[in-house]
Structure 1
Amino acid sequence: MDALTLRTERLVLLPLGVPDLDEAAALYSDESVMRYADGGTRDRPTAARQLEANERCWRSDGWGLWAVRNAETGAFIGECGFRRITDVPGATVEFSCTISRRNWGQGFAAEAGNAVLYDGWDRLKGDLVHAVVPHDNRAGGQMLRMLGFRRLEDQLIHGEEQQVWDLQRLN
C-alpha cells in the first residue's frame, strides 16, 4: 500500500487537497449534507481555504482529511479523516466523515472510517480520537458506534448541545 493511498474493496482514499476543489465545493454547498457540519454550508473560496489548510496539515503532521473516491470509477464520494479540535476539553484530534447525499446509505462512511482509523493510529501521535455529532444526526452516531467509538457526556459546543464520542487506541 502506498503511504499516501488507502484502499478498501470499494474505495480509494487520497489526501484531500486543492485538486479536489470542484467536488469538495459541491459537497460543502449541499445544505442536506452540511446541516450537521460546524458552520453549515461553505462557498467556493472558503472550500479552497479549507483544502489548503488540509494540505498544510498533511505536510506538517502527516495526517488530515482524505478524499474518498469510488475505486472503480474514481467518482468523488466525500471526505473522511482527522482534523484538529479545540472545542472539547482534553481533545486534540477529531475524526470526521462527510459523504455526498447521492452516496448515503451504501456503507461508504463506515468503510472509509475503518480504513482511516486503522491507518490513523500509525500517523497520529496520541492514542485518543474524538468525534462531535449533533443530537439529530442519528446516522452519524450509529456510524461512530459501529466504528467502536464510545459516547461521552454531551457538551455545549457553539451554543448547541452536541454528542461527544471518543475512541481509544488498543495496544
Structure 2
Amino acid sequence: MDEKKSEVPSLETDRLLFQVPRREDFEDFAAMRADPIVARYTSGKPESANTTWGRLLHYRGLWGIMGFGFWMVREKQTGRFVGTIGFNEAHRGLTPSMDGIPEAGWVLASWCHGKGFATEGVKAACAWLDTQTPYRRSVCIIAPANTPSIRIAEKNGFSLFATTQYLNEETLMFERKVAG
C-alpha cells in the first residue's frame, strides 16, 4: 500500500459521524475500553489507559501505512462518543492466515448497544473499503459467544469460513467478498 496515502476520510451515515482518531478522543476512548461490559468480548478485561493510548496511536498510524484504519465514531445528533469502527492489519498468526487482508472491527460504548449503530457503521465502513481501496475481501474474528457481533457481521455480508484458536480461545473467522 502507498505509504503517502495518509489522509483519513470522514464518513457520515444517517446517525453517525466517522472521523480521524485524535488526541481529543482519548478520554472517551479510554472510558469505553475500561468498561467491563465492552471488555467482555474484546480483551476479556478492562483496558488500562496506557494500553488504550497505544491503541489510539496504532489506529491513527494504520492510515499512513496501510491506507485504511479505524475511525472514531460519534452520534451525529449529539456528538456523543459511540466507539470505533474500521479495519486493522494485526498479524495475529492465525491459521488460516489473515495477513494482508483488511480485518474489520467494531467496538461500541455500552450505552449504545442494541441501537443498530454497529450494523449501520460497519455497512458504511465496508462500502468505503469496497469503493476506495483495491481490496476485494475483508475478514473479521469473533468469539463464538458474541452473538450480537455475529449478527452484525452476517447483516453486513460476512460469512463463516473457519474456526481457529486465538489467545488459547476458539475464535470464529468470517469473510466478506466484494461482488463482481
TM-score computed with the length of structure 2 as normaliser: 0.88
Report if aligned partners of 1:15, 1:58 keep a CA contact under 8 Å in 2: no
- Structure 1 residues 17 and 124: alpha-carbon distance in aligned structure 2, compared to 1, 3 A threshold: farther
SS at match of 1:162: strand
Contact 1:129 1:168 in 2 (8 A): yes
Q: Aligned partners of 1:153, 1:61: CA distance in 2, in Å?
A: 25
- After superposition, where does 1:78-117 map in structure 2 within 5 Å? 78-87=83-92, 88=94, 89-92=96-99, 93-117=102-126
Does the aligned pair in 2 maintain the 1:63–1:123 contact within 8 Å?
no
Aligned residue pairs total 170
The answer on 1:45 being equivalent to 2:50 is yes
Amino acid of the structure 1 residue aligned with 2:11: L
Give yes or no for the alignment of 1:142 onto 2:147.
no
CA RMSD of superposed structures (Å): 1.7
| Structure 1: 4+ residue segments shifted above 6 A | none
The corresponding residue for 1:5 is 10
- Contact conserved, 2:129 with 2:135, CA < 8 A, in 1? no
Question: Which residues of structure 1 form unaligned runs of 5+?
Answer: none
Shift of 1:60: 2.2
Alpha-carbon shift at residue 123 of structure 1 (Å): 4.2
Percent of pairs with identical residues: 23
TM-score between both structures, scaled by the size of structure 1: 0.92
Asked whether the equivalents of residues 8 and 19 of structure 2 are also in contact (C-alpha less than 8 Å), the reply is no
Between stretches 137-146 and 40-49, larger displacement belongs to: 40-49
Q: 2:168 is matched with which residue?
A: 159
